[in-house]
Amino acid sequence: MANNIDKPEEKPPKISDKIVIEVKDLVKTYHSGAGDTLVLKGLNFQIHEGEFVSIMGPSGSGKSTTMHILGALDTATSGDYILDGVNTKDLSEDELAGVRSRKIGFIFQAFNLLAHKTVLENVMLPGMYGHLPMTLRHQKATELIKLVKLENRAHHRASQLSGGQQQRVAIARSLMMDPAIILADEPTGNLPTDQTDEVLRFLTSLNRDQGKTIIIITHEPAVASYSDRTIVLRDGVITSDGPANRNVHYDCA
Amino acid sequence: MIALEIFREALSSLWQNKGRTFLSVLGIVIGIASVIVMMGIGQGAQDSITSEVGGLGTSTINLINMSREKPLTLKDLDAILANDYAGVFSAYCAQTQGSYTLAAGSESVESVSVTGVTAGYLTVEGKTVELGNFFDDDDFATGNRVIAVGQAVAKDIYGSASAAIGQRLNVGTIPFTIVAVFASESSSGMSFSDPDSFAVVPLSAMQNSLTGSSSLGSISFLLTDAAQATTAKSIIGYTMLARHNLTDVADADFTIFAATDLLEVLTAVTGTMTMLLSGIAGISLVVGGIGIMNVMLMSVMERTREIGLRKALGARQITLIAQFLFEAVLITCLGGIIGLLIGLGGCTAYSFIMTQMSNDARAVVSWSSVILSIGISTAIGLIFGIYPARKAAKLPPIEALRTE
C-alpha cells in the first residue's frame, strides 16, 4: 500500500569536510548489583556535517546508549567523544547542559512535550534555557511552528494534538536553538504509518534544505532507509557502516 | 530576567497541581496562624501587665514595716530624708492603713480601707480630688478629724459625691467631716476590689483618734528619676539597717519594694509564657515544613520525566534547583500570608470575646510578628525545599527520560 512512497532522494545531501562527531574507542560499562555489564565495546566512527545517518540494531545492541552519549545525556566509561571539536570528557555537568542547549536538538519516541503547555510554549522552552531574548524566542518559535505546518495549532495544548502533530512540535522544538545536530531516538516508534512518512520526510528536508546533521536511532529498516548512511550495532560493536539501503518500504519492513 | 521566567514556570506548575498545592499551603497556614495568635495573646498579656504595673508608679519605692518590736515611725522618714544628699526623692508620704466600718445615719459600709497619710499623698499616689478641698497644713499638723472619700463611699452612703461634701461620717465610732471626694478610678484587672471604695484621713488624725499608735504601715517615696531606683533603695536600706543596728541585709526587719522590680518579674514571666506558646505553635510550622518537603519530593518523583526533558533541552542544575525552590517558597509564602490574615482574624476574635467577657486581656499583633511570620515561612520554603530541589537537579537525564 505504501509501496509507492517516493523518498526525497533526488536531492543529494550537502556533506562538508567538517567532522562534527568523532567517536574513538568508546566504551560504556554499567555497574549494577549483579556485576558490570559491558554495553559498548569500543566504537569508532566519524560523522561529517550535513550527513543523515541512521544507527540500527536490535534491542540490547547498545544503540540507545550510543544515542545518550552522542546527546551528552550520559558520559562514556572510556574513550573519547569529540563533538564539534570539543572533547566532552573534559566538560562539567553544567558545560554538558550548555552543549545540549546549543549543539543538539532532541527528538524522542514519546515526543516528551509538556502536556499542559501550548505548542508555542513548548517550542519556546529551549530558548529559555539557552537565554534567548523573549521577543526573539517568540519570533523564532512562530517561524518554526509555521515550518512544521502547525500555525493554526500554536495556542493549542500539546495534549490536544495527534501523535504526528506532537512529533512535529518536537521537531520544531529541537530546532529552537539552531543546533548543528539533530538526534532522533525512534522518532516514529509511536506513530501510525502515514504519520511516520510525514515526520521522516520532514527530517529529510531539514537535512537537504538546511544542511542539518541528522542522526536517527531505529530498529526498523524502513525508517533507516530514509537516511544516507547506516551504522549497524550488535552486542556493543559496529557490524557494518555504509550507505543506507534506500529500497526498503514499510509493508516489507 | 531568567529568574522571572523560572518563577513563572514554578507558578504554572503549581497551578497545574492546584489540589496538591492547596493541601501543602494548608499546613503552613495553620502553623503561621497559630504562631500569630499565640504571639498576639502573649504580647497582649505583656502590654496589659506593663500598663497595670506602670499604674503602680514605676518611679515609686515603698518602705514597708515588717516589725512589731521596731515599728516604722516618722523618725525613720526624717533619717532617710537626712541621708538623701543626692536629692533622689521628689516627694514622700508616710501611711498607715486600717479597715473600718463607715457610717452616717442609717447608711453604712463595712470593711473600708482607711489610710492615714502625710502631705505628699496626692503627688505620690497620683490621686485627684474631684470635689471639695484636700487636707491643709493645719489638718496634717493638728490632727483635725477630716476625711476624704472615694466615689463609691460617697455614693453608697450619701447617694452622690456632691451630697457627701461637708457631711459627717463615722469611722468606727469616731466622727469625721468629709472635706473632699476623689475622682473615680478605672477598674484594674489586677485587683478584685472596687478602686473607689476607700477613705483617707490625715496621719495625725489616724494616729490620735483611730490607732492610738505612732507606728506606720509604710512610707512611699517618689523618685525624681526612675533610673535612680537603685540609689534610692540603698539610701533607704542602709539608713534603716543602721537605725535598727543591723549589718546583714538578710536580717532586715523591713521590706523595700519598687514597682520596677515587679514589672521585671512579670515581664519575664509573660515573656516565657509567650515563648512557650509560640514554641508549641512553632512545632506545627515544622510539621508543615516537613509536609512541604514530602509534597515537593512527591512532585519530583512524579515529574521525573519532565525534569529529564528539561535537562535534555539544556536546563542547568542551578536552573532546576531555582524552579523547585521557587515552587516551595511560593507555597510557604502563600501559606504565610493566608496564615497571617487568619491569625489577625483570630486575634480580633479573641479580643472581641474577651471584651464581651469584660476581661482586660487582648491579643496584640505587632509588626515584628508579621515580619517574623513571613520571614519564617520563606525560610521554611528554602530549608525544606532545598533537598527535593537538589534531588530534582541531580536526576540523571537518561534515567529521567526512560521513566514511563
d(CA A168, CA A7): 18
Claim to verify: residue B176 and residue B238 sit in the same structural domain? yes
Report residue B141 as a C-alpha cell: 499638723
Strand bridging mode B174-182 / B129-132: antiparallel
pLDDT in the model for residue B39: 85
pLDDT in the model for residue B49: 78
Nearest CA in chain A to B404: A110
Claim to verify: residue B206 and residue B249 sit in the same structural domain? yes
Q: What is the pLDDT averaged over residues B384-391? A: 90
Q: Mean of the per-residue pLDDT values for chain B? A: 87
Asked if the model's pLDDT at residue B17 lies above 90, the reply is no
From B242, B259, B276, give the residue that closes a domain: B259
Claim to verify: residue B24 and residue B66 sit in the same structural domain? no
User: Cell 516589725 sits at which residue?
Assistant: B67
CB distance from B190 to chain A under 8 Å? no
Claim to verify: residue B86 and residue B226 sit in the same structural domain? yes
Instruction: Kindly determine whether residue A74 and residue B396, on different chains, have CB atoms separated by under 8 Å.
Output: yes
Strand, helix or coil for residue B6? helix
Instruction: Kindly determine whether residue A102 and residue B319, on different chains, have CB atoms separated by under 8 Å.
Output: no
Strand, helix or coil for residue A200? helix
> For residue range B236-293, what is the model confidence (pLDDT) as tens digits?
999 999 888 888 888 888 888 887 777 788 888 888 888 888 888 788 788 888 888 8
Pure H helices in chain A = 63-70, 93-102, 119-129, 134-147, 163-174, 193-210, 221-224
Claim to verify: residue B39 and residue B65 sit in the same structural domain? no
Query: Which chain A residues are Cβ-neighbours of B5 within 8 angstroms?
Result: 128
Instruction: Kindly determine whether residue B310 and residue A177, on different chains, have CB atoms separated by under 8 Å.
Output: no
CB distance from B307 to chain A under 8 Å? no
CB distance from B12 to chain A under 8 Å? yes
Instruction: Kindly determine whether residue B313 and residue A71, on different chains, have CB atoms separated by under 8 Å.
Output: no
Query: Which chain B residues are Cβ-neighbours of A98 within 8 angstroms?
Result: 314, 316
Q: Which residue, among A248, A174, A187, A180, has the nearest Cα to A217 in the 3D structure?
A: A187
Compare CB distances from A100 to B5, B312, B318 and report the shortest one's residue. Answer: B312
Domain that holds residue B339: 2-54+264-402
Single-letter residue type at A150: L
Contacts of B320 (CB under 8 A, 6+ apart): B307, B310, B311, B389, B392, B393
> For residue range B182-192, what is the model confidence (pLDDT) as tens digits?
998 765 555 55
Which domains does chain A carry? 2-13+51-75+89-252 (3.40.50.300)
Compare CB distances from A126 to B9, B313, B396 and report the shortest one's residue. Answer: B313
From B211, B229, B259, give the residue that closes a domain: B259
> For residue range A158-182, what is the model confidence (pLDDT) as tens digits?
999 998 899 999 999 999 999 989 9
pLDDT in the model for residue B48: 80
CB distance from B171 to chain A under 8 Å? no
Contact B52, B188 (CB under 8 A): yes
Claim to verify: residue B315 and residue B196 sit in the same structural domain? no
Strand, helix or coil for residue B244? coil
Report residue A169 as a C-alpha cell: 512540535
d(CA A108, CA A184): 6
pLDDT in the model for residue A168: 92
pLDDT in the model for residue A82: 94
Q: How many domains does chain B have?
A: 2
CB distance from B18 to chain A under 8 Å? no
CB distance from B11 to chain A under 8 Å? no
pLDDT in the model for residue B403: 56
Claim to verify: residue B215 and residue B346 sit in the same structural domain? no
Claim to verify: residue B72 and residue B172 sit in the same structural domain? yes
Claim to verify: residue B186 and residue B335 sit in the same structural domain? no
> For residue range B198-216, what is the model confidence (pLDDT) as tens digits?
999 999 999 999 988 888 9
CB distance from B313 to chain A under 8 Å? yes
Sequence-distant contacts of B126-129: CB under 8 A, at least 24 apart: B126/B57, B127/B182, B127/B183, B128/B182, B128/B183, B129/B180, B129/B181, B129/B182, B129/B183
| pLDDT < 70 stretches in chain A | 1-10, 249-253
pLDDT in the model for residue A249: 64
d(CA B284, CA B240): 55
Instruction: Kindly determine whether residue A97 and residue B315, on different chains, have CB atoms separated by under 8 Å.
Output: yes
CB atoms closer than 10 angstroms to residue A110:
17
From B207, B235, B259, give the residue that closes a domain: B259
Claim to verify: residue B196 and residue B91 sit in the same structural domain? yes
pLDDT in the model for residue B284: 78
Contact B102, B151 (CB under 8 A): no
Contact B326, B7 (CB under 8 A): yes
Q: Chain A: which residues have CB within 8 Å of chain B?
A: 68, 71, 73-74, 93-94, 97-98, 100-102, 106, 108, 110, 112, 114, 116-117, 125-126, 128-131, 173, 177
Strand, helix or coil for residue A145? helix
Query: Which chain A residues are Cβ-neighbours of B317 within 8 angstroms?
Result: 93-94, 97
Q: List the single best residue of B303, B313, B319, B402 to mutate versus A (max A Cβ within 10 A).
A: B313
d(CA B29, CA B27): 5
User: Cell 523518498 sits at which residue?
Assistant: A7
Claim to verify: residue B303 and residue B184 sit in the same structural domain? no
Claim to verify: residue B148 and residue B35 sit in the same structural domain? no
Instruction: Kindly determine whether residue A106 and residue B312, on different chains, have CB atoms separated by under 8 Å.
Output: yes
Q: List the single best residue of A99, A114, A131, A166 to mutate versus B (max B Cβ within 10 A).
A: A114
Q: What is the pLDDT averaged over residues B358-362? A: 77
Asked if the model's pLDDT at residue B55 lies above 80, the reply is no
